[in-house]
Structure 1
């Protein structure tokens, strides 16, 4: 029995479950039922993500005694896993069972959360390695399943209903994320670090995430899948991705994207480590910062959408990118202030700024990638942009983890002194450990902003559709390990890549047939 048949057998025993086979004829009532289930599923998938990803995942890794290298590796996994979507496109095309792929990958991946729940009671090296392997499998299967899911949803939801359906999903995902984030902060705040009670809290979170994730998989299994159109021929992915790299202006954009993603992901994945280990704040406070960042991200996205429609996307980036980089550099100030209340207010303000500005960077950079794409090749260009982002954002935190010990053993002190008739004013500045990362990220970020100035913005794009897409992406279930919301929005490879390839194959065959008739 193959894996898909096994999954079908499992779900056949569940009450109300549907077959995992696609349906050749999909009635209007069945389609509407599927769209309702699509919204309901967001409650459970959002709950699983809220309890097991982001800041909670970092905090759990620190609870197990993870090194800085492991924290960086965990931060890199969601990015690097996106590269698996390219072979996943071939899998979808060959197997043509998108529902089976999505359900099976969800089932296997989310059972890893049960393993993580058990590991909450251990701090041995073996436990850390198992945790890392489980997270790697979860991210990898999530990327493969996400590719099948995206292609499936585009066929299930009518074009005129996409915005409404995914807007409602976004509302539920956001609400669940905020509520459970606050609940997790409260639970962790009431349990001392390293205590048995803290073990139980983390175990309960990951166990609950596993249960809600499996419920999500069952709901997905109950949703109908339309039969994929007949295969039009092999998809030449290399040929598709070769065209963007031959475009000089788009290559300049890729240099900006790579340097920008490297800069911000060199520092932001370690915010939780910096706040907990260097500033000695509770994990619950970091979760509150994450909630504040998510709220700012959500509120600011519509504003940046309107501004990108009114002005150029490069103008939005010219405001958002420097503000975001300055906020990262300003994290150094948190280690300079002596008053704990001032430090808290400083961190809250910076997370609000970063949450709001990263929304503008994500929206504008994705808009530019599409605007620079020739008609009929948009998905290939966006896919190249996404892969560049994934590689740069994946390498940066791993390198950051490797260099952590180097910077931990070094310190830079600067004493600024002002003399006047009224006395002497001194301002001591001391950079240590993670402060070097924030400064280095700022320098690389300035280079990225310079590269952005070389990009010429051309073309037109339907702004409203892109705002909806990016809004949904910023609320995706797998979030960056940082406490800043919305960092992974640009890394997801477009689910329409396969469809775009088929359209181009049809067009080429039609042109050949027309040429044959005329001759």
Structure 2
């Protein structure tokens, strides 16, 4: 049942795609019921420390690096379906462990078990993602891949909406008493485990094509190291690493801040997450148009400061009087954060592709994903320790007016614990903007031009009152594509940067000839294109 097939008929392929839709719906339900805010809510419910929450937030990010060594395992075993199905099944064995955590009497033991379950869940999931990506890329025809991805995303969105509402209602009930909370969290993770079994069973019904014949590929470490030899790409990696560290230093702890410091319920926090995601989806297409018109660097120069401003503004939430006004303030912040986050995610992904040499984009994306995962994963760990440091410190700023009748305070601001911590995160983010300015991207324009265009588009949108469709953007490690790259282009990356140096140092005429010679190795579309190439080569010579 888990064996690869030498031949897959059209009917078998269609049947496999239908089962992949079932897998998508079940897997999305697990994410909505058991991950993200719900997992942090469980940690808060059992009384986990801030440091433990930092580790919990880091695990999903750091485990992404496991996909790199899995490339070698997939190529050696050459049974992607077996690796994927067994991987997702083992990963979802963590869900019953989650379900038992609320009933462990010792808070310390419960926290350790929770962290171990998260390592099992996210670690094995990340490792199996590499084989899944390669498998599905070979199964689904290239001309149907876009339609397949959109359908799978639609199924996931519908299920996620229902599961999110269910989780919100359940988390509201869990606030009533500790005993009821124990049962509700346990029920959520048992339900997730049932969906996990459905997902694994559906995935087992999907056929797997036999992998291409083994060939001597480019060494994996060479593929991942080559991008670091590109000076401009190193500048991009410095920006990505500094940005991911600064943002993930604070954002994983927003939930802790909302619940413990501001006193909001977990249902409200989950609603904020949904609002932010909706804003992200609604604005991603507009950011795409901006990046096409003004380049990705210019888009990042606007979206990144806007996001950092929201992080800094989070420090003033406790100063807003009244629960209703404070809730409105947080909702507005999450709308802006979701919208600006869409711009950062889209432009950052696009600029990686744009700065990658032709034919080597996959290795550049893989290196970028590993650097991002390490920077983003280490930030919550540092943040967990730093939050406890700031808990015992306070910064006060006051502006007083002294007169014969007494002293009148004109302005008084106090930053303590989380407020101080969020401001520090925003300040560190300013360094990432400095790193962004060093990146060279053709066609970059001044920030004020982008801002002016945003305001113009916003006025037009308000006048038209039109709904804006969007895409769910996710940046992941391209394990499946990296396997293909190792098979089909072992020599390309080996000589890539040496060729660039020779062309750059050559006289203009030689550089033009070298560029034409490089295009000669590509497959001409037809005879006319081939004849045109010969004429251009003859003219350049």
What TM-score range do you get, normalising by the shorter chain?
0.7 to 0.9
| Distance across 2 between alignment mates of 1:327 and 1:439 | 10
Contact 1:304 1:363 in 2 (8 A): yes
Counterpart mapping for 1:396-415 below 5 A: 396-415=379-398
Task: Find the counterpart in structure 2 of residue 294 from structure 1.
Answer: 277
Q: Tell me, in whole angstroms, the C-alpha distance in 1 between the residues paired with 2:91 and 2:68.
A: 19
Give the C-alpha shift of residue 356 in structure 1.
1.4
Q: Is the 8 A contact 2:32 2:167 kept in 1?
A: no
Residue in 2 aligned with 1:137? Answer: 120
Q: Which ranges in structure 2 are unaligned for 5 or more consecutive residues? A: 444-469, 495-520, 522-541
**Cα distance, 1:442 vs. partner?**
0.9
C-alpha contact 1:371 1:458 (8 A) present in aligned 2: no
Does 2:83 align with 1:98? no
2:39 is aligned to: 57
Deviations 1:59-79 (A, max 9, x none): 001111111111111111111
Seen in structure 2, the aligned counterparts of structure 1 residues 419 and 347 have a Cα distance that, compared at 3 Å, is farther
What's the secondary structure of 1:496's corresponding residue? helix
Distance in 1 separating the partners of 2:200 and 2:285? 31
Counterpart of 1:78 (choices 60, 69, 73) is 60
Query: Which residue does 2:303 correspond to in 1?
Result: 320
Give the CA RMSD over aligned residues. 2.2
Distance in 1 between the 2:241 and 2:295 partners?
Answer: 21
The 1-side partners of 2:286 and 2:68 are apart by 33
Q: Distance in 2 between matches of 1:178 and 1:418?
A: 53
Comparing both chains, which one has the higher relative contact order based on Cα–Cα distances under 8 Å and sequence gaps of 6 or more?
1
The 2-side partners of 1:458 and 1:432 are apart by 44
> What is the rounded CA distance, in whole Å, between the counterparts of 1:419 and 1:456 in structure 2?
53
Residue number among 244, 256, 259 corresponding to 1:273 in the alignment: 256
Instruction: Return the TM-score normalized by structure 2.
Output: 0.83
Answer yes or no: is the 8 Å Cα contact 2:217–2:488 preserved in 1: no
**C-alpha displacement at 1:195, in angstroms?**
1.9
User: Which residue is equivalent to 2:419?
Assistant: 435
Contact preservation (8 Å) 2:218, 2:491: no
Which digits, 9 at most, give the CA deviation of each residue in 1:441-465, with x for residues without a partner?
A: 1111111011111111259xxxxxx
Distance in 1, matches of 2:438 and 2:10, equals: 50
Task: Output the CA distance in 2 between the equivalents of 1:101 and 1:416.
Answer: 64
Q: Secondary structure at the match of 1:307?
A: helix
- 2:430 counterpart of 1:446: yes
Asked whether the 8 Å contact 1:320–1:357 carries over to 2, the reply is yes
Which of residues 252, 259, 275 is equivalent to 2:235?
252
- Counterpart in 2 of 1:11? none
Change (3 A) 1:328 1:507: closer
Question: Structure 2: how far apart are the matches of 1:194 and 1:508?
Answer: 60
Aligned residues: 467
Q: How does 1:10-409 map to 2 (within 5 A)?
A: 19-124=1-106, 125-192=108-175, 194-409=177-392
Could you tell me how far 1:494 is from its partner in structure 2?
4.3
The question of whether the paired residues in 2 share the 8 Å contact of 1:77 and 1:139 is answered with: yes
Alpha-carbon distance in structure 2 between the residues aligned to 1:187 and 1:100: 35
The more displaced of 71-80 and 309-318 is 309-318
Residues 174-195 of structure 1 deviation map (CA, whole Å, 9 limit, x = unaligned): 2222322222112221333552
SS in 2 for 1:495: helix
Give a deviation string over 1:299-342, Cα, whole Å, max 9, x none: 11122122222220112111111100000000011111221111
Give the secondary-structure state (helix, strand or coil) at the position aligned to 1:375: coil
Q: Map Cα deviations across residues 458-485 of structure 1 (whole Å, 9 max, x no partner).
A: 59xxxxxxxxxx945x4xxxxxxxxxxx
Q: By how many angstroms is 1:417 displaced? A: 4.8
How far apart in 2 are the matches of 1:138 and 1:297?
Answer: 26
Secondary structure of the 2:103 match is coil
Q: Secondary structure at the match of 1:428?
A: strand
How far, CA to CA, are the matches of 1:458 and 1:442 in structure 2? 28
Cα distance, 1:416–1:153 mapped onto 2, change above 3 Å: farther
